[in-house]
Amino acid sequence: MKRLLVCLLFLPLLGCTSLERQAYNVIVTAKAFLDAEKKLHPECTTESTTLCHDLAQATRAKDALIDAAEVYCSGPQFEAGGSCQPPAKGTPVSDQAIAKLKAAIAIYNQIAADLKGAIN
């Protein structure tokens, strides 16, 4: 409870964000990064280099993250263009959706780190 209060009071400083906000931030950053890399490497539309493979893998990981976020947030309000409606806490659906969304974030982050390493 104390940690939650600290997170709420110092949210911008501690980076304590909700899971859906974290996923959103990763998706937005991923799209910008991958779009920029695709422009820098137009050869990837026709060639099959290691870099192009890594770029395609990162794109697939970003798309899987989007899918996981949509499952996590799905609900009538979200489907109509509204805000995220995560499943009720403590339910099996909630536990699974949280685990899958966290895994998708971690997988994308690792693949993006590998891609950045290959680029540099």
Task: Give the 3-state secondary structure of the chain.
Answer: CHHHHHHHHCHHHHCCCCHHHHHHHHHHHHHHHHHHHHHHCHHHHCCCCHHHHHHHHHHHHHHHHHHHHHHHHCCHHHHCCCCCCCCCCCCHHHHHHHHHHHHHHHHHHHHHHHHHHHHC
For residue 82, tell me if it sits in a domain.
yes
46 class by beta-carbon count within 10 Å (0-12 exposed, 13-18 middle, 19+ buried): exposed
| Residue 3 pLDDT > 70 | no
Q: What are phi and psi of 38, to 5 degrees?
A: -65, -35
pLDDT in tens, 22-55: 999 999 999 999 999 999 999 998 888 999 999 9
Residue 78 is predicted with a pLDDT of: 85
Has this prediction a pTM greater than 0.85?
no
Give the count of domains, the chain.
Answer: 1
- State which residues form the domain around 29: 18-119
For residue 61, tell me if it sits in a domain.
yes
